[in-house]
Amino acid sequence: MIKLKSGVPIFNAILDIAMGDYGLVSSEFKIAAEEIESGISQDIALDNLSRRVPSQSFKRTIDIMLNAMRSGSDLAATLDVINDMLIKKQQSDMQAYAGELTPLSMGYMLIAVVVPSLGMSVFLILGSMARINITFFIYFIPALLIMFEVLFIGLVKSRRPAVGV
């Protein structure tokens, strides 16, 4: 977008991305640049790029770019709108994640902090009055809490939205 706004042709912008250090995006754009250099039109090369990449956001971005190129509209302005759209989607995903995280954190506090501390205290008092051997429970409850911690961390990680720059 920045390159196109400064007047650089689309092919040079594709080459800059291909030669840049953008991870998998650079390698995919390198393939597209090689296709363009071998005589395939930019439209077809970008369409091939869109088909190779599994990311739905990336596919949508390339498809919108192709429509803008084919219709003759300003590609830099189109990319600016796409950028704003992706930023708003990421913000929306983060807000939804924060909304999910609040009840999860309350449940975590209840299950991992309040119940074990109060439960252990009550169990020790009642166990000593009833003369129950509590050593099994002293080792069982922390092991149960560790399993809960691992499951909870996995749950939080799986709910986290994919947000990147």
For the chain, what is the domain count?
A: 2
pLDDT score for 165: 46
Chain centroid offset of residue 103 CA: 21
| For residue 142, pLDDT beyond 50 | yes
Full residue range of the structural domain in which residue 6 is found: 2-73
Residue 85 maps to a domain: no
Report the candidate in 85, 22, 15 with the shortest Cα–Cα distance to residue 53: 22
pLDDT in tens, 21-80: 888 888 989 999 999 999 998 889 999 998 988 888 888 888 988 998 888 888 888 888
Last residue of a domain, one of 73, 108, 127: 73
